[in-house]
Amino acid sequence: MNQLREASLTNTGLRTPYGKTNSQFSAEFDPSTGAIWGYFNPKGTACFSLGLLKDIRNHDSALETNAGHVNFEGAMHKVNYYVMASRTPRVFNLGGDLALFVLLIKSRDREALLHYAKLCIDNMYPKIMNFFRPDLTTISLVQGDALGGGFECALSSDVIVAEESAQMGLPEILFNLFPGMGAYSLLARRIGMRAAEDMILSGKILPAAELHRLGIVDILARDGEGEAAVQQWIASTYKRRNGYAAVYRARQLANPVTRAELDAIVETWVDAALRIEDRDLKMMGRIVRAQMRRMAGEAVTDITAEALAASA
Protein backbone atom coordinates (compact mmCIF):
# COMPACT_ATOMS: atom_id res chain seq x y z
CA MET A 1 0.00 0.00 0.00
CA ASN A 2 2.80 2.45 0.86
CA GLN A 3 4.51 1.67 -2.44
CA LEU A 4 1.30 2.44 -4.33
CA ARG A 5 0.92 5.67 -2.40
CA GLU A 6 4.47 6.74 -3.15
CA ALA A 7 4.10 5.80 -6.81
CA SER A 8 0.90 7.80 -7.15
CA LEU A 9 2.34 10.87 -5.49
CA THR A 10 5.18 11.01 -7.99
CA ASN A 11 2.60 11.65 -10.72
CA THR A 12 1.77 15.08 -9.32
CA GLY A 13 4.66 16.80 -11.07
CA LEU A 14 3.78 15.27 -14.44
CA ARG A 15 0.50 17.13 -14.85
CA THR A 16 0.71 20.13 -17.13
CA PRO A 17 -1.98 22.79 -17.72
CA TYR A 18 -3.39 23.09 -21.22
CA GLY A 19 -6.27 24.85 -22.94
CA LYS A 20 -7.57 28.39 -22.45
CA THR A 21 -5.98 30.31 -19.61
CA ASN A 22 -8.91 32.71 -19.09
CA SER A 23 -11.52 29.97 -18.75
CA GLN A 24 -13.62 29.26 -15.66
CA PHE A 25 -12.69 25.62 -16.19
CA SER A 26 -8.99 24.80 -16.05
CA ALA A 27 -7.49 21.51 -17.18
CA GLU A 28 -4.25 19.62 -16.65
CA PHE A 29 -3.03 16.45 -18.36
CA ASP A 30 -0.81 13.66 -17.08
CA PRO A 31 0.57 11.79 -20.11
CA SER A 32 2.00 9.02 -17.92
CA THR A 33 -1.49 7.78 -17.01
CA GLY A 34 -3.58 9.49 -19.68
CA ALA A 35 -5.50 11.41 -17.01
CA ILE A 36 -7.25 14.74 -17.50
CA TRP A 37 -7.71 16.71 -14.27
CA GLY A 38 -10.47 19.25 -14.83
CA TYR A 39 -11.09 21.96 -12.24
CA PHE A 40 -14.06 24.24 -11.73
CA ASN A 41 -12.58 27.72 -11.39
CA PRO A 42 -15.68 29.94 -11.29
CA LYS A 43 -15.90 33.67 -11.04
CA GLY A 44 -18.00 34.75 -8.06
CA THR A 45 -20.23 32.15 -6.43
CA ALA A 46 -19.08 28.57 -7.01
CA CYS A 47 -22.23 27.52 -8.83
CA PHE A 48 -22.97 26.43 -12.38
CA SER A 49 -23.26 29.84 -13.99
CA LEU A 50 -23.86 30.06 -17.71
CA GLY A 51 -20.21 31.07 -18.14
CA LEU A 52 -18.88 28.03 -16.28
CA LEU A 53 -21.24 25.67 -18.12
CA LYS A 54 -20.13 27.05 -21.49
CA ASP A 55 -16.43 26.79 -20.59
CA ILE A 56 -16.83 23.15 -19.50
CA ARG A 57 -18.71 22.37 -22.71
CA ASN A 58 -16.01 24.01 -24.84
CA HIS A 59 -13.37 21.81 -23.21
CA ASP A 60 -15.36 18.59 -23.27
CA SER A 61 -16.68 18.96 -26.81
CA ALA A 62 -13.08 18.95 -28.06
CA LEU A 63 -12.53 15.65 -26.21
CA GLU A 64 -15.60 14.17 -27.93
CA THR A 65 -14.61 15.53 -31.35
CA ASN A 66 -11.17 13.95 -30.94
CA ALA A 67 -12.67 10.55 -30.03
CA GLY A 68 -11.39 10.58 -26.46
CA HIS A 69 -7.99 12.06 -27.24
CA VAL A 70 -6.53 15.35 -26.05
CA ASN A 71 -4.28 17.66 -28.03
CA PHE A 72 -1.38 18.11 -25.62
CA GLU A 73 1.92 19.77 -26.45
CA GLY A 74 1.37 19.36 -30.17
CA ALA A 75 0.43 15.68 -30.15
CA MET A 76 -2.77 13.67 -29.67
CA HIS A 77 -2.86 11.57 -26.50
CA LYS A 78 -5.41 8.94 -25.53
CA VAL A 79 -7.38 9.78 -22.38
CA ASN A 80 -7.85 6.93 -19.90
CA TYR A 81 -9.24 8.92 -16.96
CA TYR A 82 -11.13 12.17 -16.51
CA VAL A 83 -11.03 13.57 -12.97
CA MET A 84 -13.49 16.36 -12.09
CA ALA A 85 -12.50 18.59 -9.16
CA SER A 86 -12.65 22.20 -7.95
CA ARG A 87 -10.25 25.06 -7.32
CA THR A 88 -12.59 26.66 -4.73
CA PRO A 89 -11.53 25.85 -1.16
CA ARG A 90 -14.10 23.72 0.72
CA VAL A 91 -16.52 23.77 -2.22
CA PHE A 92 -16.93 21.31 -5.10
CA ASN A 93 -19.93 23.12 -6.54
CA LEU A 94 -23.00 24.70 -4.94
CA GLY A 95 -25.32 23.76 -7.80
CA GLY A 96 -27.60 25.74 -10.06
CA ASP A 97 -27.44 29.50 -10.46
CA LEU A 98 -30.25 30.33 -8.03
CA ALA A 99 -29.95 34.08 -8.50
CA LEU A 100 -30.56 33.55 -12.22
CA PHE A 101 -33.45 31.19 -11.50
CA VAL A 102 -35.18 33.84 -9.36
CA LEU A 103 -34.95 36.39 -12.17
CA LEU A 104 -36.20 34.00 -14.87
CA ILE A 105 -39.05 32.63 -12.77
CA LYS A 106 -40.23 36.12 -11.82
CA SER A 107 -40.17 37.14 -15.49
CA ARG A 108 -41.92 33.86 -16.52
CA ASP A 109 -39.17 33.21 -19.06
CA ARG A 110 -39.67 29.51 -19.76
CA GLU A 111 -37.43 29.55 -22.84
CA ALA A 112 -34.42 30.89 -20.90
CA LEU A 113 -34.96 28.43 -18.05
CA LEU A 114 -35.13 25.57 -20.52
CA HIS A 115 -32.01 26.83 -22.29
CA TYR A 116 -30.10 26.79 -18.99
CA ALA A 117 -31.37 23.33 -18.08
CA LYS A 118 -30.55 21.88 -21.50
CA LEU A 119 -27.03 23.33 -21.27
CA CYS A 120 -26.63 21.45 -17.98
CA ILE A 121 -27.69 18.22 -19.70
CA ASP A 122 -25.37 18.99 -22.63
CA ASN A 123 -22.59 18.83 -20.03
CA MET A 124 -23.91 15.94 -17.96
CA TYR A 125 -24.86 13.41 -20.63
CA PRO A 126 -21.46 13.06 -22.35
CA LYS A 127 -19.85 12.59 -18.95
CA ILE A 128 -22.41 9.92 -18.01
CA MET A 129 -21.56 8.23 -21.31
CA ASN A 130 -17.79 8.49 -20.67
CA PHE A 131 -17.53 10.90 -23.58
CA PHE A 132 -18.66 8.04 -25.83
CA ARG A 133 -15.46 6.09 -25.20
CA PRO A 134 -16.02 2.67 -23.54
CA ASP A 135 -12.45 2.57 -22.18
CA LEU A 136 -12.47 6.00 -20.50
CA THR A 137 -13.17 6.11 -16.75
CA THR A 138 -14.59 9.21 -15.05
CA ILE A 139 -13.83 10.20 -11.45
CA SER A 140 -15.27 12.94 -9.23
CA LEU A 141 -13.00 14.32 -6.51
CA VAL A 142 -15.17 16.05 -3.90
CA GLN A 143 -13.20 18.11 -1.39
CA GLY A 144 -16.02 20.30 -0.09
CA ASP A 145 -19.72 21.00 -0.49
CA ALA A 146 -21.46 19.40 -3.48
CA LEU A 147 -25.04 20.64 -3.38
CA GLY A 148 -27.88 20.32 -5.88
CA GLY A 149 -26.34 20.37 -9.34
CA GLY A 150 -22.91 19.95 -7.77
CA PHE A 151 -24.03 16.63 -6.29
CA GLU A 152 -25.58 15.68 -9.63
CA CYS A 153 -22.26 16.36 -11.33
CA ALA A 154 -20.42 14.16 -8.82
CA LEU A 155 -22.98 11.38 -9.36
CA SER A 156 -22.36 11.41 -13.12
CA SER A 157 -18.91 9.83 -12.65
CA ASP A 158 -18.03 6.14 -12.51
CA VAL A 159 -16.10 6.65 -9.25
CA ILE A 160 -16.68 9.20 -6.48
CA VAL A 161 -13.80 10.05 -4.14
CA ALA A 162 -14.70 12.34 -1.24
CA GLU A 163 -12.77 13.80 1.65
CA GLU A 164 -14.21 13.30 5.13
CA SER A 165 -15.29 16.92 5.63
CA ALA A 166 -17.17 17.01 2.31
CA GLN A 167 -20.95 17.37 2.41
CA MET A 168 -23.39 16.48 -0.33
CA GLY A 169 -27.12 16.78 -0.74
CA LEU A 170 -30.10 18.02 -2.70
CA PRO A 171 -31.71 21.01 -0.95
CA GLU A 172 -34.13 21.94 -3.76
CA ILE A 173 -37.21 20.72 -1.86
CA LEU A 174 -36.60 23.54 0.64
CA PHE A 175 -37.77 25.99 -2.02
CA ASN A 176 -40.51 23.66 -3.29
CA LEU A 177 -38.59 22.32 -6.28
CA PHE A 178 -36.58 19.19 -7.11
CA PRO A 179 -33.15 18.58 -8.67
CA GLY A 180 -33.96 18.17 -12.35
CA MET A 181 -30.61 17.72 -14.07
CA GLY A 182 -29.95 14.04 -13.42
CA ALA A 183 -30.22 13.47 -9.66
CA TYR A 184 -33.24 11.15 -9.79
CA SER A 185 -31.86 9.06 -12.65
CA LEU A 186 -28.34 8.75 -11.25
CA LEU A 187 -29.25 8.24 -7.59
CA ALA A 188 -31.91 5.65 -8.41
CA ARG A 189 -29.34 3.61 -10.30
CA ARG A 190 -26.97 3.67 -7.32
CA ILE A 191 -29.33 3.17 -4.36
CA GLY A 192 -32.78 2.39 -5.80
CA MET A 193 -35.79 4.57 -6.60
CA ARG A 194 -37.32 4.63 -3.12
CA ALA A 195 -34.06 5.59 -1.42
CA ALA A 196 -33.40 8.20 -4.12
CA GLU A 197 -36.83 9.75 -3.58
CA ASP A 198 -36.34 9.76 0.19
CA MET A 199 -33.04 11.61 -0.19
CA ILE A 200 -34.46 14.13 -2.66
CA LEU A 201 -37.57 14.81 -0.57
CA SER A 202 -35.62 15.13 2.68
CA GLY A 203 -33.48 18.02 1.44
CA LYS A 204 -30.80 16.81 3.87
CA ILE A 205 -27.13 17.57 3.45
CA LEU A 206 -25.16 14.46 4.41
CA PRO A 207 -21.50 14.01 5.37
CA ALA A 208 -19.22 12.03 3.09
CA ALA A 209 -18.92 9.20 5.63
CA GLU A 210 -22.69 8.62 5.57
CA LEU A 211 -22.75 8.71 1.77
CA HIS A 212 -19.92 6.18 1.78
CA ARG A 213 -21.97 3.93 4.05
CA LEU A 214 -24.91 4.23 1.67
CA GLY A 215 -22.74 3.19 -1.28
CA ILE A 216 -22.85 6.56 -3.03
CA VAL A 217 -19.26 7.58 -2.30
CA ASP A 218 -16.83 4.91 -3.46
CA ILE A 219 -13.64 6.05 -1.71
CA LEU A 220 -13.50 8.04 1.54
CA ALA A 221 -10.26 9.98 2.03
CA ARG A 222 -8.87 11.99 4.89
CA ASP A 223 -9.06 15.75 4.55
CA GLY A 224 -6.30 17.04 2.32
CA GLU A 225 -5.62 13.58 0.90
CA GLY A 226 -8.34 13.33 -1.74
CA GLU A 227 -6.04 14.03 -4.65
CA ALA A 228 -3.53 11.47 -3.41
CA ALA A 229 -6.38 8.96 -3.02
CA VAL A 230 -7.34 9.45 -6.67
CA GLN A 231 -3.72 9.06 -7.76
CA GLN A 232 -3.40 5.93 -5.65
CA TRP A 233 -6.58 4.43 -7.10
CA ILE A 234 -5.35 5.10 -10.64
CA ALA A 235 -1.94 3.59 -9.82
CA SER A 236 -3.43 0.49 -8.19
CA THR A 237 -5.92 -0.21 -11.00
CA TYR A 238 -3.93 1.03 -14.00
CA LYS A 239 -2.89 -2.40 -15.31
CA ARG A 240 -6.53 -3.53 -15.14
CA ARG A 241 -8.04 -0.31 -16.45
CA ASN A 242 -9.64 -2.03 -19.45
CA GLY A 243 -11.48 -4.48 -17.17
CA TYR A 244 -12.61 -1.72 -14.81
CA ALA A 245 -13.87 0.42 -17.70
CA ALA A 246 -15.73 -2.59 -19.12
CA VAL A 247 -17.49 -3.17 -15.79
CA TYR A 248 -18.60 0.49 -15.69
CA ARG A 249 -19.83 0.15 -19.26
CA ALA A 250 -21.78 -2.97 -18.31
CA ARG A 251 -23.35 -0.97 -15.46
CA GLN A 252 -24.56 1.58 -18.00
CA LEU A 253 -25.93 -1.10 -20.34
CA ALA A 254 -27.74 -2.91 -17.52
CA ASN A 255 -29.43 0.29 -16.32
CA PRO A 256 -28.96 2.98 -18.99
CA VAL A 257 -29.47 6.70 -18.54
CA THR A 258 -30.71 8.03 -21.87
CA ARG A 259 -30.63 11.56 -23.21
CA ALA A 260 -34.39 11.32 -23.80
CA GLU A 261 -34.95 10.51 -20.12
CA LEU A 262 -32.83 13.45 -18.97
CA ASP A 263 -34.52 15.85 -21.41
CA ALA A 264 -38.01 14.78 -20.30
CA ILE A 265 -37.14 15.30 -16.64
CA VAL A 266 -35.71 18.73 -17.47
CA GLU A 267 -39.05 19.69 -19.02
CA THR A 268 -40.76 18.59 -15.80
CA TRP A 269 -38.27 20.68 -13.80
CA VAL A 270 -38.93 23.82 -15.86
CA ASP A 271 -42.71 23.44 -15.52
CA ALA A 272 -42.35 22.88 -11.76
CA ALA A 273 -40.06 25.91 -11.42
CA LEU A 274 -42.65 28.14 -13.05
CA ARG A 275 -45.28 26.98 -10.52
CA ILE A 276 -43.38 27.92 -7.36
CA GLU A 277 -44.64 30.84 -5.30
CA ASP A 278 -43.20 34.03 -3.82
CA ARG A 279 -42.35 32.38 -0.48
CA ASP A 280 -40.31 29.78 -2.37
CA LEU A 281 -38.44 32.48 -4.29
CA LYS A 282 -37.68 34.17 -0.97
CA MET A 283 -36.13 30.93 0.30
CA MET A 284 -34.03 30.76 -2.88
CA GLY A 285 -32.87 34.28 -2.15
CA ARG A 286 -31.89 33.34 1.41
CA ILE A 287 -29.83 30.43 0.10
CA VAL A 288 -28.13 32.75 -2.42
CA ARG A 289 -27.20 35.15 0.38
CA ALA A 290 -25.87 32.27 2.50
CA GLN A 291 -23.78 31.14 -0.49
CA MET A 292 -22.37 34.63 -0.89
CA ARG A 293 -21.40 34.76 2.79
CA ARG A 294 -19.74 31.37 2.46
CA MET A 295 -17.77 32.56 -0.56
CA ALA A 296 -16.74 35.70 1.34
CA GLY A 297 -15.09 33.53 3.98
CA GLU A 298 -17.70 33.90 6.71
CA ALA A 299 -18.33 31.01 9.13
CA VAL A 300 -21.17 29.38 7.19
CA THR A 301 -20.75 25.63 7.61
CA ASP A 302 -24.24 24.64 6.42
CA ILE A 303 -25.76 26.89 3.75
CA THR A 304 -29.23 25.36 3.93
CA ALA A 305 -29.36 25.50 7.73
CA GLU A 306 -28.41 29.17 7.60
CA ALA A 307 -31.15 29.87 5.06
CA LEU A 308 -33.74 28.00 7.14
CA ALA A 309 -32.71 29.89 10.27
CA ALA A 310 -33.14 33.19 8.42
CA SER A 311 -36.69 32.21 7.48
CA ALA A 312 -37.75 31.35 11.02
Specify the pLDDT at position 63.
Answer: 96
pLDDT at res. 305: 80
Tell me which residue range forms the domain holding 77.
Answer: 2-311
pLDDT at position 7: 35
**What pTM value is reported for the model?**
0.92
Element (H or E) spanning 121, and its range? helix 110-128
Task: Give strand pairing partners of 165.
Answer: none
What does the pLDDT read at residue 61?
Answer: 97
Phi, psi of 14 (to 5 degrees): -90, -15
* Structural domains in the chain (count): 1
pLDDT score, position 6: 33
Q: What is the pLDDT of residue 8?
A: 36
> What count of other Cβ atoms lies within 10 Å of the Cβ of residue 103?
13
Task: Answer for the pair 39, 25: CB distance below 8 angstroms, yes or no.
Answer: yes
Q: What is the CATH number of the domain that holds 288?
A: 3.90.226.10
Q: Is 13 exposed, middle or buried (0-12, 13-18, 19+ CB in 10 A)?
A: exposed
Regions in the chain scoring below 50 on pLDDT:
1-13
Which pLDDT score, from 0 to 100, does residue 12 have?
46
In this structure, what are the phi and psi dihedrals at residue 35, rounded to the nearest 5 degrees? -110, 125
User: What's the mean per-residue pLDDT of the chain?
Assistant: 93
Q: Provide the CB-side half-sphere exposure for 49 (13 A, CA).
A: 15
The total of other beta-carbon atoms located within 10 Å of residue 40's CB is 23
